């Protein structure tokens, strides 16, 4: 039997005589995948699933890793496996066993129903996870609330009936990542999590992706192609990644560009930070954005040329970076005609720029203070947990 796990990195629940211990880092990977699928489209998105790996020692199951199972969703947005998906699952289990990995169960998300195992869910479990100690983890993401989850285990003597162990909340976890699995080359789904997508060439146009494989390839999404008669400008967006686009948009007003993105995107909410690169003629600008700045959703930029390219690259914990770019084409920015009042106008513009700079400085200090407060709160929570553990050990 395992020793008492560190509650800051491990969670556990009891299911009769079986104890389930799980890495919070692994649970964060599962939660993030479920939320990404949920946010991938309107009205519930798509459901996702994968295999849980770890150890079983006779009276407890310890979950130490997971591997997603790519689903082509040929039967709809739910996690319903086609013949091709089932063949991939069988191959994944066989090759993982050859690599010395023990499958202790599986997980999948429900985005339109509650935490209840359906008929097809039970069929998958009985067919591929028949051992009495293999578990099923069901995850239910929500748009404005914490993700909920529940483990299911076989009930002895019931002929394969699964019973719930109790529903619990899965909140975003900030901590050390789980140890990487010793995956063999070519294991189904491994490259989707461990290898970042390649950068496209300047003039590269990707070929159409096969159905069900869009999440692994570069996809051109023309999010905006608007030609305005007054301004005469056009903008479009290019997205690379496996989850919901960032909604990067450019809009122009009198020489100023409003660079905005979707703050409701799950990728934006979970990002650890971002780099924004702006190519404006001969002028190159690079901005580092914190998670708090990302949640504001926009920045203003004073352009100098008729062509401006913006690239937004999000960094994500344990996952490949996510990038989206937008291009602006239009007329050269307007220049004021010389007049006797030009000096006053220039002075007013300088004062405006100074005020904008001061506002940004104050906002930056406020963001820094909020970040420090969040770090202190996290440190206090961890300290309390450690004190509780020490007190429990001393009893």
Q: Which residues constitute the domain of residue 238? A: 218-336
In a shared domain, residues 82 and 184: yes
In a shared domain, residues 149 and 230: no
Q: The domain spanning residue 332 has which CATH number? A: 2.60.40.10
In a shared domain, residues 186 and 319: no
Does a structural domain hold residue 300? yes
In a shared domain, residues 122 and 237: no
Cβ–Cβ under 8 Å, residues 210 and 74: no
Query: What is the share, in percent, of the chain residues with pLDDT greater than 70?
Result: 76
Does a structural domain hold residue 356? no
In a shared domain, residues 168 and 35: yes
- pLDDT at residue 129, rounded to an integer: 94
Last residue of a domain, one of 321, 336, 351: 336
Does a structural domain hold residue 160? yes
In a shared domain, residues 313 and 395: no
DSSP characters for 59-127? Answer: SEEEEEEEEE-----TT-SSS---HHHHHHHHHHHHHHHHTT--EEEEEEE-SSS-S---HHHHHHHHH
Last residue of a domain, one of 286, 319, 336: 336
In a shared domain, residues 184 and 315: no
Q: For residue range 76-131, what is the model confidence (pLDDT) as tens digits?
A: 888 999 999 999 999 999 999 998 999 999 999 999 888 888 888 999 999 999 99
Q: For residue range 156-209, what is the model confidence (pLDDT) as tens digits?
A: 766 667 888 888 998 888 777 777 776 644 444 443 333 333 333 333 333 343
In a shared domain, residues 242 and 146: no
In a shared domain, residues 52 and 115: yes
Q: For residue 136, what are the CA distances in angstroms to 26, 123, 168, 361?
A: 14, 12, 14, 50
> How many domains does the structure of the chain reveal?
3
In a shared domain, residues 111 and 232: no
- pLDDT at residue 228, rounded to an integer: 36
Work out the pLDDT band at 393, boundaries 50, 70, 90.
confident
Q: What is the side-by-side strand order in the sheet with 298-302?
A: 249-253, 256-260, 298-302
Does a structural domain hold residue 213? no
In a shared domain, residues 136 and 54: yes
């Amino acid at each position: 039997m395992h020793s008492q796990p560190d509650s800051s990195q491990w969670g556990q629940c009891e299911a009769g005589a079986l104890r389930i211990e799980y890495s919070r880092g692994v649970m964060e990977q599962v939660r993030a995948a479920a939320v990404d699928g949920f946010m991938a489209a309107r009205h519930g998105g798509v459901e996702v699933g994968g295999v849980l790996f770890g150890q079983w020692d006779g009276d407890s199951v310890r979950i130490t890793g997971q591997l997603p199972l790519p689903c082509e969703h040929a039967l709809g947005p739910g996690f319903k496996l086609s013949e091709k998906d089932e063949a991939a699952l069988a191959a994944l289990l066989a090759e993982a066993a050859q690599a010395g990995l023990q499958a202790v169960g599986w997980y999948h998300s429900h985005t339109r129903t509650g935490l209840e195992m359906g008929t097809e869910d039970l069929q998958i479990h009985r067919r591929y996870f028949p051992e009495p100690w293999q578990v099923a983890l069901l995850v239910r993401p929500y748009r404005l609330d914490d993700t909920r989850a529940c483990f299911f285990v076989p009930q002895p003597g019931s002929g394969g009936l699964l019973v719930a162990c109790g529903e619990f909340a899965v909140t975003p976890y900030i901590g050390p990542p789980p140890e990487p699995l010793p995956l063999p080359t070519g294991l189904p789904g491994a490259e989707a999590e461990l290898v970042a997508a390649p950068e496209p060439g300047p003039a590269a146009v990707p070929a159409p992706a096969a159905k069900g494989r869009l999440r692994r390839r570069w996809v051109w999404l023309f999010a905006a192609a608007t030609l305005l008669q007054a301004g005469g400008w056009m903008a479009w967006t290019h997205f690379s990644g496996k989850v919901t686009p960032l909604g990067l948009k450019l809009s122009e007003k009198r020489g100023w560009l409003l660079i905005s993105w979707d703050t409701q995107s799950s990728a934006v909410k979970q990002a650890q930070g971002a780099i924004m690169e702006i190519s404006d003629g001969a002028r190159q600008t690079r901005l580092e954005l914190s998670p708090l700045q990302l949640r504001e959703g926009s920045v203003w930029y004073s352009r100098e040329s008729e062509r401006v390219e913006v690239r937004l690259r999000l960094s994500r914990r344990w996952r490949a970076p996510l990038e989206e770019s937008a291009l602006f084409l239009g007329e050269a920015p307007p220049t004021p005609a010389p007049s006797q009042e030009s000096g006053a106008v220039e002075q007013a513009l300088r004062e405006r720029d100074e005020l904008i700079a001061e506002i940004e400085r104050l906002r930056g200090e406020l963001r820094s203070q909020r970040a420090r407060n969040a770090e202190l709160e996290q440190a206090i929570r961890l300290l309390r947990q450690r004190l509780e553990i020490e007190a429990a050990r001393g009893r």
